Structure 1
Amino acid sequence: MPSTLRRIAAAAAVLSVGAFAAGCGGGATGADSNQDLNLQPIAAAGPDPFTASTAESKATPTPAASPTGPGPSGDLRAPRTVNGSTPGLYGGTQSVASCDVEKQIRFLGGDRAKNRAFADAAGIDPASVAGFLRGLTPVVLRVDTRVTNHGFRDGSATSFQSVLQAGTAVLVDGHGLPRVRCACGNPLKPPNNHQGNWNDKGKPWPGYRADRVIVVRPTTVVVNNFIIVNITNNTWIERKSGDDGRHDRERPDITIDPVKPPVPEPPSPPASPSTSAPSSSPSTSPSQSPDCPTPTPTVTVTETPAPSDSTPGTPSSPSAPPNSPAASPSGCPPATKTVTPTPSASPSAPSPLVPPAPETSPPNDMPSLPTDIPSGPDSDVFGPSQESENV
């Protein structure tokens, strides 16, 4: 009997150790955990590719300048997040698709297991793979970008974290999110939220810096037109969402530097009363309480309607926003001020996502906007046309 009890205890100990090891494997996300991060150059297929390459981009793009600012301490990396509709985040060649979507459809359509695994990884129905791919927009990355990548092994999809090199051809959805890597046909999703240490797998390319990698944040509304950089001559192109480039339109009116970082630096914190400029002193707003917080600027960008009678590319004067709600009983203005560059020819309703700005605020009470947020006629391309659902 004692020997039987010893065997049972030993078996229980083995099971406990196995369970502990499984809980602390590659899926752990604690600050002290480690996770592999695959560094994938532009043309490298990577582990377990879904299909052969469908990338068509021949030119090497000029990468956007790396965002400035201090990096994270140690090996704990917190990638910068950038909105998927940011002008210059992506590039391409005018009237040329960076990926052959129809070839990708044929590759997957000829293998039922791969088609099913692709659909599972992408979160779509297997019967809708062709329509899903035709609805994506071919572009190239201009910044090293972290994603959740998927391979195909033993009849099903695998999952691993990757950094894709700037210049990689991808297909993005209507929210600006990379969904397919064209060099291998792999479906892509946003990266996981791992906050611990990373083990880089693969050889870093020249210019790679772990603290300069970005993560794309999908827009909450559908993007109808992407503003991308023509990688052959560093000019600006407007490409319709879901288009292969045949309807690209030049945008010479955009004056943003094409090599400027597409990731805006966060705005500086509001100045304290002791360091405020004289123009923003309480004397300019007699009805405002001195204890009111400094308004924080909020910038929204709205979509340009399809041109009708006006000349394409001709900027128009911004229309003033409608009157804002009444001030709070304390006499304080709203917590935020909204600057909405809307060069539409006809008045339009303000975005429901951001409260309208006070119309009667004195000019010198408006806080200055960050200098690296695009403004002018080029900033009116993206905006809410309709609420959308994730694909």
Structure 2
Amino acid sequence: MGLAAGVAVLAAVVGLVLSSVLGASPHKEVLLQSAASTGPDPFTPSAGQAATATPSPAATMPSPTANGIRGVPGSTAGLYGGSMHTSSCDVGRLVRFLTANRDKERAWAGVEGIDAAAVPSYIHSLTPVLLRADTRVTNHGYRNGAATSFQSVLQAGTAVLVDDRGLPRVRCACGNPLTPPALVANPRYTGQAWPSYQPSNLVVVTAAPRPMVTIIVVNIQDGSWFERFVGDKGGQDKPVPPPTNQPSGSPSPSPSASASSSASSSPPPPPSTATTSPSSGPSTPTTPVTSPPASSPPPP
């Protein structure tokens, strides 16, 4: 065998080894996480508060982009749900646990890009809500003294804390910090899908164009609407009329929705203003999940 041929063979072997060890992309695998599950490598014990009703889907959803991913601004009215005057997340419990575990507090702060000393004030600046759509995020756990990172889909109904741009920043069931997802072509979804799960119905929350003062939320108890001040835990919630920019003829959200009605075989037509339509239902074993079309980050 000549020198050139030998080098080519060696390069091919090295490439195969690296591919098997590193994988084609660190973001290819996306874990499906039901609303109540703790998930891998939790930072804290659960701080989620039990919901007394299932978040209902919005009347319509934005149509998918060419790669099948829906980008929804964090300021979209009805993107999130909740109960008036009730927090879906025990913020005090999160703060107490992290400040009592300094190694975790430092790792947690590093993910969010803040100083460890700022963790309590940062968490208190966030707003508790419930997702109303199955949502792609980058989830960060804690293992062996350091933060981990993995791609995940959070089921509609998951309790999260969002910032003043409407971006999910904390998953309450595990205390894990969240950041925007890393979108790659042909991801492989793992874990157990819930009955209403549809890869084509996933949304990615994009930052609101400017900081918000209030978030317009759907009441999961009766389908009414209310506004929650950013950083408030429900004490100042005020009823508001349904947004006037809802698509013509769209019904108000109902207080609950069955898995059979929320899982549709094809997405509804695009509305004039972006809203979201979640899927809800308990996490149960289903057939293997197939990956959606190639994905790339939505435009800001």
- TM-score interval w.r.t. the shorter chain? 0.7 to 0.9
- The higher relative CO (CA closer than 8 Å, separation ≥ 6) is in 2
The counterpart of 2:146, out of the listed 139, 142, 156, is 156
Partner of 1:250 in structure 2?
A: 239
Cα distance change on mapping 1:253 and 1:198 into 2, 3 Å? closer
Number of equivalenced pairs: 253
Partner of 1:287 in structure 2?
A: none
CA displacement at 1:24 relative to structure 2: 4.5
Rg larger for: 1
Matched, 1:63 2:57: yes
Amino acid at match of 2:31: N
Contact 2:59 2:252 in 1 (8 A): no
Partner of 2:38 in structure 1?
A: 45
Matched, 1:167 2:161: no
Cα distance change on mapping 1:115 and 1:47 into 2, 3 Å? same
Describe the SS at the equivalent of 2:92.
helix
Partner of 1:112 in structure 2?
A: 102
Contact 1:57 1:169 in 2 (8 A): no
Matched, 1:239 2:239: no
Q: Distance in 2 between the 1:264 and 1:241 partners?
A: 31
Cα distance change on mapping 1:250 and 1:191 into 2, 3 Å? same
Unaligned ranges ≥5, structure 1: 29-34, 268-369, 375-391
Describe the SS at the equivalent of 2:188.
strand
Contact 1:237 1:251 in 2 (8 A): yes
Identity of aligned residues (%): 47
Scaled by the length of structure 2, the TM-score of the pair is 0.76
Matched, 1:259 2:253: yes
Matched, 1:85 2:75: yes
CA displacement at 1:252 relative to structure 2: 3.3
The counterpart of 2:47, out of the listed 49, 54, 58, is 54
Deviations 1:341-376 (A, max 9, x none): xxxxxxxxxxxxxxxxxxxxxxxxxxxxx3x569xx
CA displacement at 1:160 relative to structure 2: 0.6
Scaled by the length of structure 1, the TM-score of the pair is 0.59
Cα distance change on mapping 1:130 and 1:209 into 2, 3 Å? same
CA displacement at 1:64 relative to structure 2: 2.8
CA displacement at 1:259 relative to structure 2: 2.8
Q: Distance in 1 between the 2:74 and 2:58 partners?
A: 15
Give the superposed CA RMSD: 3.0
Once the two structures are superposed, the pairs formed by residues 1-391 of structure 1 within 5 Å of their partners are 17-19=16-18, 21=20, 24-27=23-26, 35-59=28-52, 60-65=54-59, 67=61, 78-194=68-184, 196-252=185-241, 254=243, 256=246, 257-259=251-253, 370=272, 372=273
Contact 1:236 1:258 in 2 (8 A): no
Cα distance change on mapping 1:253 and 1:62 into 2, 3 Å? closer
Q: Distance in 2 between the 1:373 and 1:116 partners?
A: 37
